[in-house]
Amino acid sequence: MKLENEFLCVEIAEAGAEVVRIFDRKNGTEVLWEGDPLYWKRHSPVLFPNVGKTFRNQVLINGEPYPTSQHGFARDQIFTCVNSSKEEASFLLVSSKETQKAYPYEFKLYIDYRLREKELEVKWRVENCGDKQMYFTIGGHPAFRFAKKEEKKEDYALKFPGKESLSYILIDPDTGTGRPETKYVLELADGMCPLTEEMFEQDALVFDGGQIEEVWLCRKDGTPYVGLRCGGFLNFGIWSVKDAPFVCLEPWEGRCDDYGFAGDISEKAGIISLEEKDIFVKSYNIIVA
């Protein structure tokens, strides 16, 4: 599926309803990571019904244990395109007997894309189709590649408009779960910090508490390259791979389990609770400078 206007060309795969290309026509630049498996095979997966990992790779739902995979199963499912035009498309995933082996809820997950000039709006709609309360987390994981092949992380910076500093936690390397008992400070100068390889030596930086509503990947002189506007999101992740020429800017509603969490899904911090027949809606925008 292709969306395009005079500024951008966007391609979306039915597998995972994943955006696999954002091409800046004005600058002749590929903005989205191309999915080279040397570093990371994905582009911008949708994370559902869980963001990150659960402790010991299982979740308790009404006392019953269910197996989980990192970032959930939606990114590996085939979605159906239910609506499309030159600048808009909508994709749908419906629960099945197979999904209920890992997640015992009846749901519909819509991923809507809308192209407007140099912005791509990404909207999630989750519908509880069952007769009981439903719990989940959901997130985005877009990876933005550097404009030139020879560029490295040190050629770029991150800008958080209006912020003087941010607080983050790190991931436990053995379990992939959060360690909120230790908090770190990301110091900013004029809202900016340099992008470095050292930032990701312990995996992702995880920001809780709705701290990030807008972030830009800039060249180190402050020139904007690509940004995210994500007001109202509870959590945010920033991640990359060693020596990889990209960085992921990830708006999340909910995140991985805390280390050692063994409670029911309903007790998880930041969990989304959706009543019978209710619909959850959340959106963010990718902005090409």
**CA 204 from chain center: how many Å?**
12
Residue percentage of the chain with pLDDT more than 70: 100
Q: Which CATH number is 205's domain given?
A: 2.70.98.10
Confidence of residue 6 (pLDDT cuts 50, 70, 90): very high
- pLDDT for res 86: 97
Confidence of residue 255 (pLDDT cuts 50, 70, 90): very high
pTM above 0.95, yes or no: yes
DSSP string, 66-108: EE--TT-SGGGSBPEEEEE-SSEEEEEEE--TTGGGT----EE
Q: For residues 43 and 40, what is the distance between their CA atoms, to the nearest angstrom? A: 8
Residue identified by tokens 């004029």 is 190
The average pLDDT across 241-263 equals: 97
- pLDDT for res 236: 98
The average pLDDT across 209-218 equals: 98
The average pLDDT across 94-103 equals: 97
The average pLDDT across 256-262 equals: 97
- pLDDT for res 94: 98
pLDDT single digits (tens) 66-91: 999 999 999 999 999 999 999 999 99
pLDDT single digits (tens) 129-139: 999 999 999 99
Residue identified by tokens 């990571």 is 33
Averaged pLDDT of the chain: 97
- Count CB-CB contacts under 10 A for residue 104: 15
pLDDT single digits (tens) 14-55: 999 999 999 999 999 999 999 999 999 999 999 999 999 999
The average pLDDT across 114-122 equals: 98
CA nearest neighbour of 251 among 58, 145, 121:
121
Structure tokens given for 206: 């995880």
Residue percentage of the chain with pLDDT more than 90: 100
Tell me if residue 55 falls in helix, strand or coil. helix
C-alpha dist (Å) from residue 255 to 138, 160, 228: 8, 21, 18
The number of folded domains in the chain is: 1
Range of the domain at 167: 2-288
Point out which residues pair with 258 in neighbouring strands: 178
Confidence of residue 127 (pLDDT cuts 50, 70, 90): very high
